[in-house]
Structure 1
Amino acid sequence: MLWYTWGLLALSFGVVAENGLNGWLRYAPLPDELRQHASSLPSRAVIVALNETETSPVYVAGKELQAGLKGVLGYTLSLSHNLNLSASTNSSAIILVGTLAAYNLSVKHNVSTLAADGFWLNVKGGQVTILGQNERGALYGAFEYLSMIAQGDFSDVDLVSSPSAPIRWVNEWDNLDGTIERGYAGASIFFRNGAVVEDLTRAAQYARLLASIRINGIVLNNVNANATLLTAENMDGLGRIADAMRPYGVQVGISLNFASPQTLGGLATFDPLDPSVVGWWTDKTAQLYQRIPDFAGYLVKANSEGQPGPLTYNRTLADGANLFARAVLPHGGVVMFRAFVYNNHLDPSDWKADRANAAVDFFQHLDGHFLDNVVVQIKYGPIDFQVREPPSPLFAHLPHTNAAIELQISQEYLGQQSHLVYLAPLWKSILDFDLCVDGQPSLVRSILSGARFGRKLSGYAGVVNVGTNPNWLGSHMAMSNLFAFGHLAWDPTQNPQTLLETWTRLTFSLSPTVLSTVTSISMASWPAYENYTGNLGMQTLTDILYTHFGPNPASHDNNGWGQWTRADSTFIGMDRTVSNGTGFAGQYPPDIAAQFEAPATTPDELLLWFHHVPYTHRLRGDGKTVIQHLYDAHYAGAQTAQGFLAAWAALRDDDGGAAGAGAIDAERFDDVLFQLTYQAGHALVWRDAIAGFYHNLSWIADEHGRVGYHPHRIEAENMVLRGYVAVGVTPAVTASNGTAIVVADGGVRGEAVAVLDGVASGVYDIAIGYFDVFGGRAHYGAFINDEPLVEWIGDLEDRLGHVFSTKLDGHSATRVTVKGVGIERGDVLKVIGIADGGERAPLDYVAVLPAGVVD
C-alpha cells in the first residue's frame, strides 16, 4: 500500500539542507560544466573597494564580492581599499567597486546620465569595474555582477542602470508588542514587548536582501501606529536599527499616530495647525534626526478605519501632511501620506454609495496643496489589494502632487502565503495601464517615474511583513514577490517571467527542469487563484469580516465596508456607471471612462466591477453566461492548483532526489511540496463554496452538473458515529452538505465508520475532509479493516502562517489525501479523532476517489 500524509519524510537529495534565510543570495557553487567558463576571471584577481569604512556600502560591496565569488567559484580573493590601483596589486585582474567621485572617472559610456543610486557595470576580460553614482549604487552594481556570476553568465557587459524612481521603499506592519498585522511568517524581527529587540542580526540580514533588489528605504512599524514608538528609549532603539541597516544603504522611516501630541505628549489637542502641536512634532523630529542623521521620513495613515487625522479638526488632509513635511524638511526627509482614506460605515441600501470613489473624492481637490516633500501613497486599486482591480483613478488626478504606488507583497487577500500566487503579472497589468490623461499617453508607470507630470519625487511602496520565520515570508515561493517588487520598482518595463526565471535560478537551481517547473506553476498561479476565488472583477470573495483568508461571499454585502458585489437571485455586480450607478467610472479620464461605462466595451475581467448584470448576461470573450463562466472558472482554477502539486512532486526522481542530480535540497523541496498540497486541497474548498453559494442564490444549474455533486464522498454525519455528533457549519457552503461532526462535549475520542459496500474492488485515493481550527492540535487516524492507513495531527497553525480560525468555516476547512490505497468491496473504513483543547477533532467527509479523480 502506497500512502502519503502531511508529515513528509525527508528526501536525500545529496545537497546541503537550506532553510531559505539567504533567499536568492545563496551563492551556490556552480556546476563544473559552467565553472570552466569562468576562465576570463582569474582566480588570483584582486577586489578593490574604494572605501575602507566598515559601515560604508562600498566596503560592504567589497566583502559581498569576496563572499560571493568564494561561494560560486571557490575563489579566495584578496580585498584592498587602496585608491592607488597600480600599487594595490600585482595582479593583472582587478574587480573594482566604488563611486564615480572616488574613482574620478572621466565622462564616458553615458555614465554622466546616472541618477542617484544608479551604477555602471563594465566587464571586459579579467577587468570588472563597478561604479555607483553614490555608495548605494556601487553596492547595487556589485549585486548585479554577482547575480550574473551565480547564474553562470561570464559574458562581457557594459551596463549603465538608473532607477525609474527615487522612492523604492518597503512598509512593514510590525507592532511594538512583536505581532505583525497581516504578517504570516512569525513575530517581528524589530520589536518585542513594547521596545526594539536587542539582537538586530535579522535586521541586518534583511537589509542585505533589500539592497540586493535595490530597495533604499524601509518603514519599520504598522501604519496603525503606536504613539509610544516616540519615547526616548524607543527612539534610541530605532537608531540601533538604522545603524544595522545603514551599511546596506537602507534608510529607515516610521509610521506615525496622528494623535501622538495628545496621547503621548499630554497636549490638549492634535490639531495640525495648533502652534503647540507644530512645536511638538518639530521637537520630536529633531530628536529622531539627532539619533538617525539619514532618517528617511514619515508614513502617515490618517482619518481611515478609525485612525485619527486632520479631519477631526475640520482641517484638510494636505494640512495634516504638510505638518510633518515642514518638520522633516530641514533634515531632508520625506512624508508618505496614504490615500487610503474612506468611510467604513457606508449605507449598503444607498445605490450611489461606493467606497471606490473615496480616494478621488478626498484628494483630487488638494492637488498642488501638498509641499514638495510630500508623496501621496496610493493603493494600486480603488478598494484594497484585491485579486483584480482597475488602477486607482487618483493617479490621473494629481499632476501637481508627488505620487507613489502601494503594492502588497504580503498576500492579505490572496492566500496569505499559504497559496502560491506570483503577483508580478498583476502589478504589471496596473503599471502598464494607460490612463490617457488629457488624451495623451499616460501609463501608470510613467506617472510613477515622474516623467508624465514632471515630478521629481515619486516611486513605489511595498507592504512586505517579513517575520522571524527562517525563510522570511513563511513560504519559499512567496519570496519571488519580494524579488520582483524590488526589480519592478527599479525598472517597471521588466518582464515578470524573466524576473521569475532569474529568481528561480538564484533561489533554487540552474536545472532546466526546475526552472521550467517553477516558471510554469508560478506564472499560472495568479490566474488560477483569481479563477477559484473571485473572477470577472467581483473581487476576492474571501471573508472580509474575519480573517481575510478563506471563502465567504456572503460577507461582502449588507455591511458598511463597501466591498460589495450587490448579488441577489437575479443580478450580480456593482453598477459604477455614471448613467445609473455610483459614478465611479466617471472618475477616469474621458477615454477610459467611456470604455468602462458600457458592458459592451468593458473587459470581461472587470465586468462585475463596473456593471450590475443578470447572471444570464453573456460575456464578450467566450460567449458564456456570467454564472456558467463563474462555475467553469472555479472548477478550472481548482484543477490548475492540483497541477501545481503534481508538477512539483514530479521533480522528485526515482532515487529520491530532485530532477537535475540533486537540484533542490530536501528541506526546501518538502516545504514547498507541503504548501502546494495544502493549496490543492483548499482550492477545492474555495471551488465548492463559491460555486455552491451562487448556485443556491441564483438557482441556475451548472451545465456540466458538477456543482453540489460529489458521488465519491461519504458525508461524515452519515457514517456510524461513536463519540461524535453532527454540527452545522457557517457558512454552510464551506462544508460538504453544510454539516460536520465533532467529538461530543465532555468527550475526548470519536469514531466514524463506513462500510465500503458500494465501492468496487480496486486502487483508490482516499481524501478526508476535516477542519483545522486554532486552539488545539487534535490527533487523527484512518484505518481500513483496522489496518492503519494514515495518521495526522491538526497542527497546520504550526506549519503554515495564515490567520487561523477558531470556527468551522472556509478558513479552517482542509483535507488530507492518501494515494494508491487498495480496497476490496465491503472493506470497513474507520476514522478516529482525539480532541485537544478547543479542537474537537472535526471531520467533514471521506472521499473514495478512482485514479485521476480529484473530487
Structure 2
Amino acid sequence: MKALARLALAAGLLLAAPAGAEDGYDLWLRMRAFPDATVLRHGDTATLRLAEAELRHGLAAPLPLVVTTAADPALAPLRLPFAGLGDEGYLVRPAMLGGRQVLVVAGNTDRGTLYGAFALIRHAATGGDIRTAALRSAPRLPLRMLDHWDNIDGTVERGYAGQSLWDWWTLPDHRNPRYADYARANASIGINGTVLNNVNAKADSLTAPYIAKAAALADVFRPWGIRVYLSARFSAPIELGGLKTADPRDPAVAAWWRTKADEIYRAIPDFGGFLVKANSEGQPGPRDYGASHADGANMLAAALAPHGGTVIWRAFVYAETDPTDRAKQAYEEFKPLDGTFAANVLVQVKNGAIDFQPREPFHPLFGAMPRTRVMAEFQITKEYLGFATHLAYLGPLFAETLRADTGRGKQRVADTLAGMAGVANIGRDRDWSGSTFNQANWYAFGRLAWDPSLAPDAIAREWAQQTFGTDPEVVDTVTAMMAGSREAVVDYTGALGLAHLMATGHHYGPGPWVKDLARPEWNPVYYHRADANGIGFDRTRTGSDAVDQYAPRVARRFADPRTTPERDLLWFHHLAWNRRMADGRTLWEDLVAHYDHGVAYVDGMAHQWATLRPHIDAERWQKTATFLAIQAREARWWRDASLAYWMSVNHLPLPPGVAAPAHDLAWYEAQRFPHAPGNPK
C-alpha cells in the first residue's frame, strides 16, 4: 500500500481517501491534503484563495502550480491563448516562469481560474499526467443552474434526500458549513446559479426577513462563482403589498415590483433574478387578468433590468381549457410570443412536453422560438424514475434531449439554448442525494451543462473514478451498471413511448388503471388510451396533431409509425396489439419483453454490485446493495401490475414461457401509500 501511495505521488496523481468509514458526504471530491504542495498564487481575491486551497488539498504536484489570471503581468511573455475563454473559461499549461518549470492555472477572471483548478484535479483523478496537462475549456451555456424545490417549512417537493439543506429558521445568523461544501461541489462541475426556493412559491420568500436569509447564503456562495435566484409568487403585490390586483399592466403593480427589486439588490448586489411558475397547476399568473406570459415576464424584467437581473419564466403550463392534448399547450401559448420577450427574459422549457417522464420526445418549443432566449429544464431528482432508491443514471436522458435533431438545418436542441436548469436532488441526508449513485446525476447535469457534447458514458467513468477510486474492476463494473440503468427503468415502467402511468399524487409505483381524477389529463388512461384494439396516444393528424408542432422534417418522421423511433412509438400513435415490430414480434409481445428486460437488468446490477463487495467501503456498499434489492422488488411490482392491467384490457395471454403476475389486478389496484416521501401535504 505504501509503495502504491509513493508511486501515485511520483506520478502527481490525486489520491482518493482509502476505503473505510465512508458515508458519501465527500461526493466525487474525496481527496487528501498535501501540505507540502507548492502552489503560488498571484493575486488576492477570495476566489483565487479558494483555487489555491483546492490545489493544495487535492494534488501532489511534481512541479509548482501558479494560480493566477490572464491580467497577471508575469504571463504576458507567454502569450497564452486566453481569447475566447470569456469570463468563466480556463487554461492549464506547462510553462517556464521566472526561470523554472511550472504549471499555470488561469482564466480571464478568478472564476475561470477556480474552474481550471477543479479541472486539473479531475484530470489527475481520472489518470491524467499533471506534468503534461494541457487543458482549455469554456462553458457552452452561460447559465448553469440548480432549481431547489425547497419550501420554507423545511420540506422538499419531490425531494428524496431528507429535509431542505437550507435551515431557514436559523438563517441568517447560523451559516452551516454544509452551505460552503454545497457551493464547492457545484463549482467543481461548473454550476453558477441556484434557485433557493420552490417554484410553487410562497410570497413570504420576498419579505425582508427571508431576503436577509437569502443574502447570507449569497455571501457564502459568491466566492465559488454562484449567484442566488428566488422563485417569485406572481401574486405577491396582493399578498405582501396590499394591492387589489397583480395585473402586470397596472402601473401600481409594476411600481411594487421595482421597489421590491431595489430592496433585494441592496441586500444581494449580485442577485441573479426571479424564477416564475405562472398559470400552471393553480399558480397565479398574468392570464388571470387577460394578459400574456410576455406581459408578465417583461414587467418583472423591467424591474430587474437596472440591476442586471434576469427573469426565468417557465413554459410548463397546462389547464383543463385544452382537453385535446396536454402535450400541445406550452407550444400553443408560447410560440406566438416569440420575439416579444425582453432581452433579460429566459423562457425555461422542460425537456419534454408532459412532465419529466422516464422518456419523452424532445419538447417542440426547442428551436421554435429563434427570437427568444430559451433554457432547458431537466429533473435531477427522480420523481418518475424510482425516487432515491432506484439506480437510474440520467446522463443518457439529458444527452438524448440535448442531441435531438430539431429539424431546423443541422441544429440540435443544445444549439438553441442559453442555459440549463436542473431540479435538484439535494437534501440534508449525509450523502446529499439519498444514495451514492444519485450523486452521479447531479455530477452529470453539471458536466453536460458546461459542455453538452460530452459523452454520458465518459462522464459516468470519470465520476466513478473520483467516487470509488481508479481500480479498473470497480470502474468498469460501475460504469457498465450505470450505462443501461435509465433504460431499464423505462422498460419496467412503460416502454415504447408510454408515459404518465404512475399512481396518483405521490407518483410512487404503477397506476395505469387510474381514470377517476377530476381533470382528464391527470389520469393515466388519458395518456395510454389502451383498449381491446390497441394502445397509444394518436398525436398525428388523425388525432391531436401534436406532431405538427415540430419542424416539418421531424414532424414527417414522427407522423409515420414506420419511421417513428420505436422508443417513441406509442407517444405518437395508437397501434394494434398485433402490429409487427422491427424484431418480428407483435407489439404486445415486444412490450412484455421490455418489462422482462427491465427486471432482468436490475437483477444483473445487483449481481454486478455483489462482486465489488471486497473493493468498496462497507457503508456505501451495503446501502447500495439494499437499494438494489428494493429496486428489484419494485421493478417486479411495476411489471406485474402493468401486465395484469394490460391483459384486462386487451384480453391477450402472455407469450409462452413468460411468468404471470404474482397477484391479480384487484390486489395491485388496492395498494395505498399515503405517506410516500416528496409529496408534502
Q: Counterpart of 1:63? A: 53
Is residue 508 of structure 2 the alignment partner of residue 574 of structure 1? no
SS of 2:229's equivalent in the other structure is strand
User: What amino acid sits opposite 1:571 in the alignment?
Assistant: G
Give the secondary structure class of the aligned counterpart of 2:437: coil
Number of the residue aligned with 2:208: 232
CA-to-partner distance for each residue in 1:113-136, whole Å, 9 max, x for gaps? 212211111146952111112221
1:413 is matched with which residue?
384
Distance (Å, rounded) in 2 between the aligned partners of 1:309 and 1:394 = 20
Classify the secondary structure of the residue corresponding to 1:404.
strand
Q: Is the 8 A contact 2:641 2:661 kept in 1?
A: no
Q: Does 1:616 align with 2:578?
A: yes
Cα deviations by residue, 1:597-655 (Å, 9 ceiling, x for unpaired): 11111111111000111111122x21221111111111111011111111101112xxx
Q: Which aligned pairs between 1:302-381 and structure 2 lie closer than 5 A?
A: 302-344=278-320, 347=323, 353-381=324-352
- The correspondence for 1:97, drawn from 56, 67, 88, is 67
Report if aligned partners of 1:426, 1:526 keep a CA contact under 8 Å in 2. Answer: yes
Query: Which letter maps to 1:529?
Result: V
Tell me how far apart the structure 1 counterparts of residues 231 and 565 of structure 2 sit (CA, whole Å). Answer: 38
**Any conservation in 2 of the 1:189–1:200 contact (CA below 8 Å)?**
no
Consecutive unaligned residues in structure 1, runs of 5 or more: 1-12, 30-41, 76-91, 348-352, 449-457, 659-663, 716-728, 739-770, 776-796, 806-855
Q: Is the 8 A contact 1:136 1:248 kept in 2?
A: yes
Q: CA deviation at 1:733?
A: 5.2
Match status 1:148 vs 2:105? no
Instruction: Give the corresponding residue for 1:446.
Output: 415
- Distance change >3 Å, CA 773–CA 591, structure 1 → 2: closer
| SS of 2:195 mapped into structure 1 | strand
Amino acid at match of 2:626: F
User: Following superposition of structure 1 onto structure 2, how do residues 819-830 of structure 1 map, counting pairs within 5 Å?
Assistant: none
User: Please, which of 277, 281, 284 is the counterpart of residue 301 of structure 1?
Assistant: 277
1:554 is aligned to 2:513 = yes
The amino acid that maps onto 2:652 is I
Partners of 2:220 and 2:629 in 1: how far apart? 38
For 1:48, give the aligned amino acid.
Answer: L
Partner of 1:651: 612
| In 2, Cα distance between equivalents of 1:49 and 1:129 | 10
Greater shift after overlay, 296-305 or 120-129?
Answer: 120-129
Which residue of structure 2 lines up, in the alignment, with residue 292 of structure 1? Answer: 268
Deviation at 1:146, TM superposition (A): 1.2
2:644: which partner in 1? 692
After TM superposition, give the deviation of residue 43 of structure 1 in Å: 8.9
- Distance in 1 (alpha carbons) for counterparts of 2:253 and 2:486: 46
Change in 2 beyond 3 A, CA 1:611/1:139 = same
Q: CA deviation at 1:199?
A: 3.5
Letter in 1 for 2:494: G
Q: Deviations over 1:400-444 (max 9, x none)?
A: 00000001111111111210111111111111111122xx11111
Amino acid at match of 2:611: A
Q: What is the DSSP-based 3-state SS (H/G/I as helix, E as strand, rest coil) of the residue aligned with 1:617?
A: coil
- Contact 2:157-2:680 within 8 A present in 1 as well: no
Find the aligned partners of 2:610 and 2:302 in 1 and give their Cα distance: 57
Distance 2:362 2:557 in 1: 14
Check the 8 A contact 1:44/1:93 in 2, yes or no.
Answer: no
2:181 to 197, 201, 205: 205
* Corresponding pairs, count: 655
8 Å Cα contact 1:346-1:561 kept in structure 2: no
Matched residue, 1:47: 39
CA distance in 2, matches of 1:194, 1:151: 39
CA distance in 1, matches of 2:185, 2:415: 27
Distance 1:205 1:617 in 2: 54
1:628 to 558, 572, 589: 589
| Cα distance between partner residues in 1 of 2:154 and 2:339 | 39
Whole-Å Cα distance in 1 between the matches of residues 605 and 672 of structure 2?
23
Cα deviation for residue 364 of structure 1 reads 0.6
Partner of 1:510: 470
**Aligned positions of 1:533-548 closer than 5 A:** 533-543=493-503, 545-548=504-507
- Separation (CA, whole Å) in 1 of partners of 2:148 and 2:643: 35
Deviation at 1:102, TM superposition (A): 3.7
Alignment partner of 2:545 out of 579, 583, 589: 583
Is 1:592 the counterpart of 2:567 in the alignment? no
Q: How does 1:22-33 map to 2 (within 5 A)?
A: 22-27=26-31
SS of 2:122's equivalent in the other structure is: helix
- Which ranges in structure 2 are unaligned for 5 or more consecutive residues? 1-16
- Which residue of 12, 16, 21 corresponds with 1:17? 21
Equivalent residues of 2:88, 2:138 under 8 A apart = yes
| CA-CA distance at 1:774 after TM superposition | 6.6
Identity level (%): 40
Alignment-derived partner of residue 567 in structure 2: 605
How far off is 1:14 after superposition? 7.8
Report deviation, 1:28: 5.3
In the alignment, is residue 397 of structure 1 matched against residue 368 of structure 2? yes
Answer 1 or 2: which has greater helix percent.
Answer: 2
Residues 1:671 and 2:623 are matched in the alignment? yes
Give the partner amino acid of 1:468.
R
Tell me, yes or no, if the aligned pair for 2:505 and 2:679 is still in contact at 8 Å. Answer: no
CA RMSD of aligned residues (A): 2.4
Find the counterpart in structure 2 of residue 120 from structure 1.
91
Mapped to 2, the partners of 1:772 and 1:645 lie a distance apart of 27
Could you tell me whether the CA contact under 8 Å between 1:435 and 1:444 is conserved in 2? yes
Q: Deviations over 1:307-333 (max 9, x none)?
A: 000001111100100111111111111
Distance 2:95 2:331 in 1: 52
Provide the C-alpha distance between the structure 1 equivalents of 2:617 and 2:679, rounded to a whole number of angstroms: 28
- Shift of the alpha carbon at 1:577? 0.5
2: CA distance, partners of 1:335 / 1:774 = 36
Structure 2 CA distance for aligned equivalents of residues 628 and 49 of structure 1: 64
Q: For 2:564, what is the secondary structure of its paired residue? A: coil
TM-score normalised to structure 1 length: 0.74
Inter-partner Cα distance in structure 1 for 2:394 and 2:172: 31
> Do the aligned partners of residues 45 and 182 (structure 1) sit closer, same or farther apart at CA in structure 2, a change above 3 Å counting?
closer
Q: AA paired with 2:501?
A: L
Distance 1:709 1:172, change over 3 A: closer
| In 1: Cα distance, 2:366 partner to 2:458 partner | 27
**Does structure 1 retain, via aligned residues, the 8 Å contact 2:38–2:56?**
no
Report how far residue 380 of structure 1 moved: 0.6
1:748 paired residue number: none
Change (3 A) 1:314 1:45: same
For the residues of structure 1 that align with 2:350 and 2:389, how far apart are their CA atoms?
23
Which stretch of the first structure deviates more once superposed, 513-522 or 122-131?
122-131
Q: SS state of the match for residue 184, structure 1? A: coil
Structure 1 counterpart SS, 2:196: strand
Cα gap change, 1:704/1:202 in structure 2, threshold over 3 Å: closer, same or farther? Answer: same
Question: Whose strand fraction is larger, Structure 1's or Structure 2's?
Answer: 1
User: How does 1:732-743 map onto structure 2 within 5 Å?
Assistant: 732=666, 734=668
1:495 aligns with 2:455: yes
- Cα 1:581–1:166 change in 2 (3 A) is same
Counterpart of 2:549, as a letter, is: Q
- Give the superposition deviation at 1:207: 0.6
Map of 2:166 onto structure 1: 190
- Mapped partners of 1:709, 1:292: distance in 2: 57
* TM-aligned CA distance change 1:361 to 1:50, over 3 Å: same
Give, in angstroms, the shift of residue 191 of structure 1.
Answer: 3.9
TM superposition shift of 1:556: 6.6
Matched, 1:482 2:442: yes
Alpha-carbon deviation of 1:370?
A: 0.4
Q: Distance in 1 between matches of 2:383 and 2:546?
A: 25
Report the Cα offset of residue 94 of structure 1: 2.5
Distance in 2 (CA, whole Å) between partners of 1:294 and 1:147 is 29
Higher Rg of the two aligned structures:
1
Query: SS of the residue aligned with 2:340?
Result: coil
Q: Which amino acid aligns with 2:444?
A: A
